[in-house]
Structure formats: C-alpha cells, structure tokens
Amino acid sequence: MNVITERYIHGGTEDMSLRHRVKDGFKVCPQCLENKPVEGGYYKCGAYQTCMSWCKACCKKNKPQSKEYWKAYYQKHKEERQASDRLRHYDVSKTEFDFVFAAQGKKCGICGVSRPRGKGGWHTDHCHVTGKFRGVLCGLCNMLLGCAKDDAGVLLKAADYLESQTIVQVE
C-alpha cells in the first residue's frame, strides 16, 4: 500500500476528495482503494472524457452483466429516482408532491383524469419565470401549457376559438 492510499484510508491530509482527484496521472479507486494510472486503469466517460470513479477491475467485478437485472433495478427504484429528480430540478420534495397531488384528489389539475395521459406519468407543473411548483398534471395537459408557453391569454383565445367555430365543409 502506498502513502497516498494509506492517507486515504486513515483520514490524513488526502481525505475523501482524493477519490475524485487525479494526481500525476494516478487516481485512487474508492472501491479497492488502490492508486492506479488513469490511462489504462479507468474507463473514460462524458463529453470531457473524465475517468469514472471505480477502476476497470472493480467495474468488471461488481457490475452485473444482464440487461434483465438493470431493467428490474430500474423498475424497483423508479419512484425513488423520480422523487430525487423532482427535488433536484424543481426543489419539490416527495412529501410536498404527494400532499398537493392528494389535495387535487389524485387527479390531473387541469383535465381531472385519474390515470396519467401522455408520456412519463404524472408531471410536476411549475412556473418557468419564478420556478414555483403549481401542481400535478398529466403529460398531455403539461404539454398543452408548454405549447402555450404558460400564457393564459393564448389558452383563453384557444378556448374562444373552439367555442365559436363551426365545422366548415368544402364541396
């Protein structure tokens, strides 16, 4: 074990941030705690080709190879991931989302359906100017607001248009 790895394990000056740091072409793998060369020892990913956290050996050893495993994992953790995304993107906690959704009667805030229409299940509606959470919508109603750019005037004109138009038949 080298000095850098020993400091990492025992909490010396090279602390937990070491696992993300490349120094002189080497990086400590947080899984096996070995200091390995970045070139050849780590997979590259992303637009900037930064190295992954774990070394190649740990990735191979710990990664299940089956697609079925990842599909099952995705489904099992779907709600957790959605809640995490909601919190990160809109600053809306699972408790807040569930409270508002229950207050809406577990229905879309616009059309009132109890099963989400469109893609992606229930959507977190928010004001694009203030970023404030407004309610829960189905995918189609969320798209409706998006296409109108959240402009109530456009939506009122669309409603007037629908009510005033008669079917025109061309002969």
Q: What does each of the 171 residues of the chain score in pLDDT, given as a tens digit?
A: 444 444 444 444 444 444 457 778 888 888 888 888 888 777 776 556 567 778 888 888 877 667 788 788 889 999 999 999 999 999 999 999 999 999 999 999 999 999 999 888 999 999 988 989 999 999 999 999 999 999 999 999 999 998 987 777 787
Q: What Å distances lie between residue 22 and 4, 12, 136, CA to CA?
A: 12, 17, 44
Same domain, 78 and 159: yes
The domain in which residue 38 lies consists of 3-62
Position 45 scores a pLDDT of 65
Same domain, 83 and 26: no
And the tokens for 78? 């779907």
Position 7 scores a pLDDT of 43
Residue 170 within a domain: no
Residue with tokens 């928010």: 126
Same domain, 91 and 118: yes
Element (H, E) at 63: none
Same domain, 144 and 77: yes
Same domain, 84 and 122: yes
Pairing of strands 50-51, 133-137: unpaired
Same domain, 123 and 40: no
pTM value surpassing 0.85: no
- Categorise residue 28: left if φ over 0, alpha if ψ from -120 to 50, beta otherwise: beta
**SS3 state at 106:** coil
Which are the contacts of 8, defined by CB distance < 8 A and separation ≥ 6? 14, 15, 16, 18, 19, 28, 33
Same domain, 119 and 48: no
Q: Rounded to an integer, what distance in angstroms lies between the CA atom of residue 42 and that of residue 50?
A: 9
CATH number of domain containing 74: 3.40.1800.10
And the tokens for 102? 């229950």
Same domain, 8 and 92: no
Q: Rounded to an integer, what distance in angstroms lies between the CA atom of residue 118 and that of residue 121?
A: 7
Query: Within its chain, how far is the Cα of 68 from the centroid?
Result: 21
Which residue among 13, 37, 62 closes a domain? 62
Residue 169 within a domain: no
Instruction: Count the domains in the chain.
Output: 2
Same domain, 94 and 122: yes
Position 165 scores a pLDDT of 77
Residue 75 within a domain: yes
Residue 171 within a domain: no
Residue 31 within a domain: yes
